[in-house]
Amino acid sequence: MKKVLGLSIVLAVAPVAQAADVEAGKAKVATVCAACHGANGVSVSDTIPNLAAQRAGYLEAQLKAFKDGTRKQQAPTSPTAIMNAIAAQLGTEDIANVAAYFASQPGAATGAKSALLPNVVKTGVTFPEGYKESFTKYHTISFPATKQVRYYYANKAAVAAAKAGKPLPDGSVLFAEVYAAKLDTGGKPVMGGDGFYMADKLVAYTAMAREAGWGKDIPDMLRNADWNYAVFTPDKQLRPGVNQAECLACHKPLDNVSYTFTLKQLAGAK
């Protein structure tokens, strides 16, 4: 407090911002962010932005926008949806530290890419041979953005748990056939009598399954209990280079529904 011309004036002192901890940011990046953006901010693919040498203030602002939902959630597999899930788990200091670390890195050379992290590429999921005879088909979804239709199947362990209102246990397998939709002469998907796109060509299979210990090498911010994910080619081979981190981050907020978007439909399977 200071007296000026007989008046008491309280001096308002602005709080001093704490400097970001670049080393703490590096540690956070190494366990989580590196799965998509690379350990040095050079991303793992052409569809994921490089963050190396980006301004710290810009990165902080974007992470805060993902965290508070200002950047709105889009389709479940969109980069925005994935970042909403990750940023929601970051504290204010984490955001500042991560931003400072990426800002401290040299810019990426043209065409440079980081290698995928081994612990998020490896999957325990194998192709479920004979699934059409032993699994239950429980759901269908049309995807306008990709002009696809998917048919969802689940094994007995998953169906039984869902019907009993219990979390899906170890041994559960959820599986989908992914088809390109049949198109009319104008390039629009043809709708079938069931209200879904008509299937044309099989383009892939996707799967999520869990067994004890499958999540032990995945960082907590990405881990979906012991679930692993996989994409298979039409000839039933694991598609190389699939980054499980994108699947894990997208499903991460669904911990109260066994990390699956279709638990309600599974519980109603016939």
> Could you write out the DSSP letters of every residue in the chain?
-EEETTEEEPPP-PPPPPPP-HHHHHHHIIIIIHHHH-TTS--SSTTS---TT--HHHHHHHHHHHHHTSS---STTSHHHHHHHHHTT--HHHHHHHHHHHHTSPPPPTT--PPPPHHHH-------TTHHHHSEEEEEEEETTTTEEEEEEE-HHHHHHHHTT----TT-EEEEEEEEEPB-TTSPBPB-TTSSBPEEEEEEEEEEEE-TTTTTTS-TTT--TTEEEEEE-TTSPBPTT--HHHHHHHHGGGGGGTT-TTHHHHHT--
Q: How many residues are there in the chain?
A: 270
Rg of the chain on CA atoms, in Å = 23
226/128 same-domain check: yes
94/194 same-domain check: no
73/153 same-domain check: no
Last residue of a domain, one of 84, 115, 146: 115
Per-residue CA distances from 82 to 19, 45, 66, 250 (Å): 28, 15, 9, 5
226/150 same-domain check: yes
| Residue 249 located in a structural domain | yes
Q: What is the CATH number of the domain that holds 26?
A: 1.10.760.10
Query: For position 67, what pLDDT does the model report?
Result: 95
Q: What is the CATH number of the domain that holds 261?
A: 3.50.70.20
73/159 same-domain check: no
147/262 same-domain check: yes
34/93 same-domain check: yes
| Residue 16 located in a structural domain | no
| Residue 208 located in a structural domain | yes
108/201 same-domain check: no
Last residue of a domain, one of 91, 115, 139: 115
96/126 same-domain check: no
Query: For position 74, what pLDDT does the model report?
Result: 62
75/137 same-domain check: no
Count of structural domains within the chain: 2
| Residue 15 located in a structural domain | no
pLDDT less than 50: residues of the chain:
1-17
Model-level pTM?
A: 0.87
3-state secondary structure labels for all residues of 58-90:
HHHHHHHHHHHCCCCCCCCCCHHHHHHHHHCCC
Last residue of a domain, one of 115, 148, 164: 115
Give me the domain span that covers residue 238. 121-267
| Residue 17 located in a structural domain | no
Query: For position 251, what pLDDT does the model report?
Result: 96
Query: For position 214, what pLDDT does the model report?
Result: 98
| Residue 176 located in a structural domain | yes
| Residue 9 located in a structural domain | no
Give the model confidence (pLDDT) of 173-198 as tens digits: 999 999 999 999 999 999 999 999 99
| Residue 5 located in a structural domain | no
Give the model confidence (pLDDT) of 3-22 as tens digits: 444 444 444 444 444 689 99
235/130 same-domain check: yes
152/262 same-domain check: yes
